[in-house]
Amino acid sequence: MSRNQILIGAVVLALVVLGGIAWYVMGGSGGSPAIPPGGGASNLTADDRALGNPKAKIVAIEYAAPMCPHCARFNEEGIPVLKSQYVDTGKVYYIFRVFPIGQPDVAAESLARCLPADNYFAFIDQLYRNQEKWDPEYGVQDVEGGLLAQARIAGFSDDQARACMRDKDKNARVMAVSQDAQTRFGINGTPTFVINGEVQTPGAQWPEIKAKLDSLLAKK
């Protein structure tokens, strides 16, 4: 199945099953929404995992999947520069949202959400750098076992990790974020950036994203 297809069948089924209970924090009951510089189009909330100054003039949302190799490449090549040159300097407020391309992404994000917010990005980075140990795209047969191994590194017991991965509310939130991404921005592949409310080309890597940020900054 292509990386640019929206969701595999199991995840679509999960969306149907969980849709009735999916309270979505974006505009829902999960937190007070923050208003982005360009207006409300990006629908930021207190529940987002983000880096940088919320008052930055550029809001960059990355929709990505822990299973996605293109996302892992961006994590390795783009994120360090984005953080050091744009986020840490107050130019960009960066938000990361999981857009699942397979059921393991739902489990991975639910697991990440059990960690303190300060540890979230380190765990996502860990998952990207170790995809071959848990990602079925690399031929891993025991995906849960692979995720459990990653969870142990992060300090979970196996029982804690299983409970997190199977948490219905956390699973529902992942699917609700996915549904909102499709409805609001037409997201259908990963990684996809939404920069100040404008959807960028799916799969764009760091040079393209950098060029867009620089063009916006040049107008400020």
Quote the crossing angle between the two packed helices 9-18 and 168-185, to the nearest 10°.
100
pLDDT of amino acid 42:
61
Amino acid at 107: A
Helices 168-185 + 103-112 axis angle, to 10: 110
Q: Mind listing the domains of the chain with CATH numbers?
A: 9-218 (3.40.30.10)
pLDDT exceeds cutoff 50 at 30: no
Q: How many helices (H) and strands (E) does the chain have?
A: 9, 7
> Quick check: 201 and 48 in contact, CB under 8 A?
no
| Phi then psi dihedrals of residue 46, to 5 deg | -65, -15
Whether pLDDT at 190 is above 50: yes
Task: Report whether 44 contacts 33 (CB < 8 A).
Answer: yes
> Is it the case that residue 40 has pLDDT exceeding 70?
no
- The total of other beta-carbon atoms located within 10 Å of residue 168's CB is 12
Sheet containing 192-195: give its strands across.
Answer: 49-51, 92-98, 58-64, 192-195, 198-199
What is the pLDDT confidence band of residue 198, given thresholds at 50, 70 and 90? very high
* 36 pLDDT more than 50: no
What is the Rg, in whole angstroms, of the alpha carbon atoms belonging to the chain? 17
Predicted confidence (pLDDT) per residue in 144-176, tens digit: 999 999 999 999 999 999 999 999 999 999 999
